[in-house]
Structures are given as C-alpha cells and as structure tokens.
Amino acid sequence: MTGDGATIASLDARLIRVPLTRPWGADVTAVGVIATHVVRSDGGEGWGFSWTPQIGAEAVHALLTNDIAAAAVGREAEPGAQWRAVWQHLHEAGGGGITTIALAGLDLALWDAATRAAGTSLAGFLGPRRHSVRAYGSGVNLHYSLEELVAQVRRWVDAGFDAVKVKVGKPDVAEDLERLQAVREVLGPDRSLMIDANQRWELDRATRSLEALAAVAPAWIEEPLRADDLHGHIELAGRLKASSGIPIAVGENLHNVFRFDDFLRTGAAQIVQPNVVRVGGITPFLGITAIAAEYGAAVHPHLLPELSGQLALTLPAVPGVPEPMAEDVEDAGFGALGVLDGPSPVRIADGTLTEVPHAGLGIRFS
C-alpha cells in the first residue's frame, strides 16, 4: 500500500529499440520498449514499461509523455485506483490498442512502486497461489524451413518443455500438415502441441484447415480469424464443437475487459491469453482473469514471461480448469536479449517457470 495520501509526483518515459536475436519476420527485427519511471509524493519510486513489436512505439512514447503524464500527476498513487479514470480520459484516442499499451507504462510503474514500498515481490504482494508454473516453448516460425522448425522443436524438447506452440497459415494446408506431422514426430504422443494462425484465415478456410490439422491433435487453435471478428469466432466455435473439438484461444489482440467478456460470454473462445501490456497493465489483467474464472475459461498469458509468469503464480486455481501456463518465445525474453539492468525476476528451466528473489516487478531496463 502507498503512504497515506501519496499521489503521483512525476512520470517519465524513454524509448528503447531492442533488436531480436531471431527476427519474427522480414519486417519485425526489433521490439520497442518504452521504459517508465514514476515518483510518488512520499518519495517512493517505481519502474514499469510499455512494449510493442516494431509498430507504434513512437506513438506510445508520445502518448505517455504528452497525455498520460499530464493526466496522472496529482492523482492517487495507489495501484489501480485511477486506472479507469485515466482510461476514460484517453478514450477519445481509442478504447484499446495504442491507448491501453501506453497506459500499461503508468500502471506497471505504480504497481512496482507499491510493491517495492512493501518490501516484497509482485507475487508476494498479490499472494502466491503456486510455487511454479508450467512453461511452453514458443516461436515465430512460420517463415522457418521445415528443417529449421524441426530443429527448434528438438531444442525445446531437449530443454525439458512438455508443450510447444508453432505457427500455421501456409498458403496450402497440406504444407501446414506436413510441418505439424514432423513436429508431432519429435514431440511424441504425450507432449502438448498448440497451433497459432495469427489471424490469417477466414471462416471457411479455418474450418477446412482445422479438419485437416486435427490429425496432429492440437491442444488449441490460437487466433484462427481476425481478432475483431466476434461473430466469426462464434460460428467457428460451433463448427469445431461438432467436429474435432479443438478449443479456440484468443487474447493477444483483445485490448479491454469488455472484449474478453464478449468472447467468453458468447462461447467464441474457451481459452484467453491477455497480454499484460496490451490490455493496459496489471490492473485490467487481474479483472480479465477474474472474468475468465467466472466463465470457467483457462488463462495462459501472452508473451512477456518476466512479468506474466509472475502474475501466473498468483492466479487462483479454478476447479476443472487447467492451470495457467507461461509462454517462452525462444531467445525473445528480456533477459535473453540482455536489456535488463540486473537479473531476470523469473527462471525458466526444464519447462517450468519459478520466481527469482527480487523486489517489486524486478524489471528495469539498462
């Protein structure tokens, strides 16, 4: 908790370009990190960040330095207390996307300040529900050759992962199937295989593709359609329920609690994957996970394991619902990219994420 009556005294932000060791495509060779720093009226400090691959980092930085800082200074510094008010202030620029990505920079810094003031980690502050989280190997690999893809999956198996996720969406589904059959051969029957279409299909193509790809027993299909297409997802969910039963996972491109509620309430998705930055920070992330629990949907946070893994440690167990998993994209973590000013706050080994002792969020950028 903050000191009595503590307010936000200042908010600063700086933009960092972080080259990716393994480019996510010809046009995604780096990610943008907007590192934030909050000072409270009681002297407490907190460090947070916003994040976006390649597109929009300058816009996020401008929104933080111009609009969010002006709106935030003088407001209560308690984490979450002013989130909705600032979101409403930004709403003319959009209810999600750039606005919520930028708002995360403030929200995370406020949570960091409060957690540091309490002398504990984020999990300690929120209350841990488990000591470790299952992690899965992930990669942006649709552009990989078959040989490169198989080699990546072998690295994951050798590293102890018992679940992996690969991209699908080649022009011919026969090529997708060939690639997934090769992956399944490496994994064997007992490891989980998830597939991610990254919004590449329309409804009928998704239906035909998943009829073929069901042969490799995918644990879920992620973003089969454009994330904006709620009714398409509703129809596809009905088709899959009557055929292969493959669950639909969405969330990395849903940006506020209302959209998550839409997809869960209508049965358009069975698994949600909120990205803690894209939804606006820890405050809305916790609201989204509470809604998912009400609907009996699994929550597997999207990317950013240094932070989302900490949050996964705190999510309540829901009877009959799979435990949260953390996504570990190969060579893409902040620690692996060498941009942290200190050790990573989490450790991933043998397919398991655990917390490393630290204060606050444990994420500061060099």
Cα 247 from Cα 249, distance rounded (Å)? 7
The burial class, CB within 10 Å (0-12 / 13-18 / 19+), for 119 is exposed
C-alpha 115: how far from its chain's center? 21
Closest CA to 16 of 338, 360, 262, 342: 338
Pairing label, strands 248-250, 221-222: parallel
Which 8-state DSSP code applies to residue 66?
A: I
Number of alpha carbons in the 13 Å side-chain half-sphere of residue 252? 21
User: Which position among 37, 167, 255, 358 bears the catalytic label?
Assistant: 167
The set of residues, in sequence order, having a beta carbon less than 8 Å from that of 240 and lying 6+ positions away, is 210, 221, 246, 247, 248
Cα 87 from Cα 96, distance rounded (Å)? 9
The set of residues, in sequence order, having a beta carbon less than 8 Å from that of 304 and lying 6+ positions away, is 51, 275, 276, 277
The phi and psi torsions of 344 (rounded to 5 degrees) equal -65, 145
Closest CA to 227 of 285, 180, 274, 192: 274
Q: Is 165 a catalytic site residue?
A: no
C-alpha 13: how far from its chain's center? 21
Cα 121 from Cα 102, distance rounded (Å)? 23
User: Which position among 37, 233, 302, 358 bears the catalytic label?
Assistant: 302
Q: Is 167 a catalytic site residue?
A: yes
Closest CA to 109 of 175, 12, 215: 12
Active site residues: 167, 302
